Amino acid sequence: MMGGKRHNLEGGRRAGAERRGRVIFSGGGPSSPPLLNLFFTKQGRLFLDCLPPGYPSLRCVSLPPHLFCFCTSSTPPPPPPSLCSLCVWGLSNMVPPNVATIMAAGVAALTLRFVSKRKAKSDHGERVEDEELEDGESPTVGVVPVTVAWDRIECILRDKRGNVIKRLLQGVSGEAKAGKLLAIMGPSGSGKTTLLNVLAGQLAASPRLRLTGSLSINGRPFSKSKHRVAYVRQEDLFFSQLTVRETLALAAELQLPKTWKPNARERYVQELLYRLGLVSCADTIVGDAKVRGISGGEKKRLSIACELIASPSIIFADEPTTGLDAFQAERVMETLRKLAEEGHTVVCSIHQPRGSIYSKFDDLILLSSGAVVYAGPAADHALKYFADLGHKCPEHTNPAEYFADLISIDYSSSDNEIAARKKVADLVEAFASKQKKIGRDNPLTALDLLMDPDDEKFIHDTVVSNRSGFLWQFQMLLRRAWRQTTRDKSTNRVRGTMSITSALIFGSIFWRMGRSQTSIQDRMGLLQVAAINTAMSALTKTVNVFPKERAIVQREQAKGSYSLAPYLIAKLVAEAPVSAAFPLMFGAVVYPMTRLNPSLQRFLTFSGVMTVEAFAASAMGLTVGAIAPTTEAALALGPSLMTVFIVFGGYYVNSDNTPTIFRWIPKVSLIRWAFQALSINEFKGLTFDVKNSFDLQDGDQVLERLSFGGKNVQNAVNQELRIALFWYWLTYVLLKRNKAKFQVLEAPSKVTPHELAVEDV
């Protein structure tokens, strides 16, 4: 299915031609320009030009880092991925063949390859693009053409007792090839996403699933392949406050090798913006539900652009048009179509596309209840196939709609359902027997099998992510976190307003507390509500946003863009000034209104304690966000946990009276340590009006009653800092452990009769 006409890597060709340096071999018949040119680029890389006379269009194929090849052909086969196969191809295709010249070129090339291979070994780990790019020079990222083939994929869902409930995929086989756009279509629940996840090697692991079958890339088992796979998921997740350009630039900075100069990276990002049609919104923020940003279609194309940075050979897209209007859906599919034309292997699942979108597909897989109804070319071939089976698509009807109706189960009545199920079962049977008769539709091409195992090494070298050092990652992630925090004006405005409003409310309630005996209770009450208010607002803000951010970070981590430690530290550093601002605002209003201990030193300590407490609560929010599967779950879990800490916060239950089994809770309660520090800061040295002999004379007596006697502020703040560090550490461990786990594909096995009995549940 490799489309020669569409195999166009103009960028690479141009860049290579511009870099032509010393020619070391030239010849190949009477033609001008010569049939074959072997030359070194200015950077010392070896290039081979094959120019059969009369065929002006050049094509390029990525060869090992030290070898590049440009070639054309009248009946273009896929460009061969190794010099040996190039020579085989050249001998059989060039007209008129000048055997001696080609052989000479082949021998020269192989000799040089042997020499340069040794050099390549010493350069192990570098990418083609790793060489220093000169200013003004275009970056080139080649696409390695690949064929993905899968055979007898079975996915079985079992209940807790191990009984089979459903066959999600039933012996699915097929192929996706370079330069082709393959669409997986079928009614809702037919298994499109499941199949796509299996092909991308990203089916979420579950003890209730059993996955068998074989999956290969260019004839090698998928698990051993080093080709890069991009997966554009249904949900587009981004940092909402970054612009499109910033999002792409950061992804480029984190994923491209450091040897790319800033200019080259910028040009590459600009090129991606053009390719994906994102130039007009390049400087618009991505936005979210609160702040309007780019459109849904633009978000989807930005997702694709981010996936393209690492130059993947294979692109999977799960329902890329879902939620988009007709125009945006068309543009997204046009983008995928172009990527296929550039040599990528593109596979997408799609529900029911309109006619203009359907016409973009090269190949089609139709699924119904997890079984293949049709797999093959999308256009006339599919229509003819169904017409031969007696299902002729009426004229002027969108084939996609026709196929969807044909393979859907009609649940309007039991008779209709039985008839529809029988029709689908017949279609599945018809396709299975046809497949058995003809074997696989398109077996792997001879060239795929000819591939030199060393080329796999090259592929690894060209696509492996070149992760930068800690400091570099920290710097990049700090910039992103800072932008996200400071630009989120609506959230910051709400937090600021809430801080001042609650300070005004508490200030009014505890207005100008005097030194009477009753003011002692008021002071304790105010300090307790201040501690609760600060902790709660920091906690809810964090649990509101972190689960979403966690999903982005986990996706980026899966790509190997950066490590967890620089991410968490950058987040902490970037958010610290903003997080500190709100407790300070609260303190600045409530302190003078209520006339807490009137000294600048005490006011500064009060603000400092509140700030440290806000950090601890925020860190606890991160942990909750790392555990909870959704924002809603995090919002339920976070405040419940905090309520326990409030109860044991030192005001409601005296720590001396705490039941033994709960003694540990006040020790880990961030409310308790904040309350203790605030109380010591407030009461130490304060005197009260005394009217009766049993009245408390000074703050030290109050502290004794609270069981805080003999303690100091510093100690309480240290405990609070330890609690904050504990939550940060726990978040790190949880994020590290909660990496996505994928279902292992077991070798194909016979489905047991018992399992077959549950077909089409």
Ligand X SMILES: Nc1ncnc2c1ncn2[C@@H]1O[C@H](COP(=O)(O)OP(=O)(O)OP(=O)(O)O)[C@@H](O)[C@H]1O
Please give the Cα distance from 473 to 467 (Å, whole number): 9
| Shortest distance in whole angstroms from residue 194 CB to ligand X | 3
Segment near ligand X (CB under 6 A), from 192-200, 269-277, 421-429, 569-577? 192-200
When binding is defined by CB under 6 A, the residue of 26, 31, 93, 193 that contacts ligand X is 193
| Shortest distance in whole angstroms from residue 442 CB to ligand X | 24
Considering the rule CB under 6 A, would residue 320 count as an interface residue with ligand X?
A: no
Considering the rule CB under 6 A, would residue 475 count as an interface residue with ligand X?
A: no
Output the six-digit token pair for 382.
Answer: 């599919």
- Residue 310: CB partners within 8 Å, gap ≥ 6? 228, 230, 255, 463, 465, 559
Considering the rule CB under 6 A, would residue 190 count as an interface residue with ligand X?
A: yes
| Shortest distance in whole angstroms from residue 349 CB to ligand X | 6
User: Between 208 and 663, whose beta carbon lies closer to ligand X?
Assistant: 208
Please give the Cα distance from 3 to 212 (Å, whole number): 31
DSSP β-ladder status, 314-318 and 229-232: parallel
Segment near ligand X (CB under 6 A), from 189-197, 237-245, 422-430, 673-681? 189-197
Candidates 321, 354, 352, 351; CA nearest to 336 is 321
Interface size with ligand X, residues (CB under 6 A): 13
| Shortest distance in whole angstroms from residue 167 CB to ligand X | 9
| Shortest distance in whole angstroms from residue 157 CB to ligand X | 5
Binding to ligand X, residues 169-188 (CB under 6 A): 186, 188
Considering the rule CB under 6 A, would residue 206 count as an interface residue with ligand X?
A: yes
Considering the rule CB under 6 A, would residue 191 count as an interface residue with ligand X?
A: yes
| Shortest distance in whole angstroms from residue 372 CB to ligand X | 13
Candidates 681, 715, 721; CA nearest to 699 is 681
When binding is defined by CB under 6 A, the residue of 62, 72, 116, 194 that contacts ligand X is 194
Considering the rule CB under 6 A, would residue 527 count as an interface residue with ligand X?
A: no
CA-based Rg of the chain, rounded to a whole angstrom?
33
| Shortest distance in whole angstroms from residue 185 CB to ligand X | 9
Angle between the N-to-C axes of helices 600-627 and 670-683, in degrees from 0 to 180, rounded to the nearest 10: 180
Candidates 3, 145, 319, 197; CA nearest to 743 is 197
Segment near ligand X (CB under 6 A), from 111-119, 190-198, 217-225, 326-334? 190-198
| Shortest distance in whole angstroms from residue 581 CB to ligand X | 44
Burial 623-634 (b: 16+ CB within 10 A, else e): bbbbbbeeeeeb
Binding to ligand X, residues 394-433 (CB under 6 A): none
When binding is defined by CB under 6 A, the residue of 84, 104, 108, 157 that contacts ligand X is 157
Please give the Cα distance from 680 to 602 (Å, whole number): 10
Cβ atoms 281, 331 nearer than 8 A:
no
Please give the Cα distance from 753 to 761 (Å, whole number): 15
Please give the Cα distance from 473 to 400 (Å, whole number): 46
When binding is defined by CB under 6 A, the residue of 38, 67, 164, 168 that contacts ligand X is 168
| Shortest distance in whole angstroms from residue 193 CB to ligand X | 3
Q: E strands of 194-282, at which residues?
A: 209-217, 220-221, 229-232
Considering the rule CB under 6 A, would residue 158 count as an interface residue with ligand X?
A: no
Please give the Cα distance from 301 to 303 (Å, whole number): 5
User: Between 115 and 761, whose beta carbon lies closer to ligand X?
Assistant: 761
For residue 117, what is the enclosing H or E element? helix 99-122
User: Between 38 and 211, whose beta carbon lies closer to ligand X?
Assistant: 211
Backbone angles phi, psi at 44, to 5 degrees: 85, 15
User: Between 191 and 547, whose beta carbon lies closer to ligand X?
Assistant: 191
| x/- map, 627-656, ligand X, by CB under 6 A | ------------------------------
| Shortest distance in whole angstroms from residue 190 CB to ligand X | 4
DSSP 517: S
When binding is defined by CB under 6 A, the residue of 6, 226, 337, 351 that contacts ligand X is 351
Applying CB under 6 A, the residues found at the interface with ligand X are 157, 168, 186, 188-194, 206, 209, 351
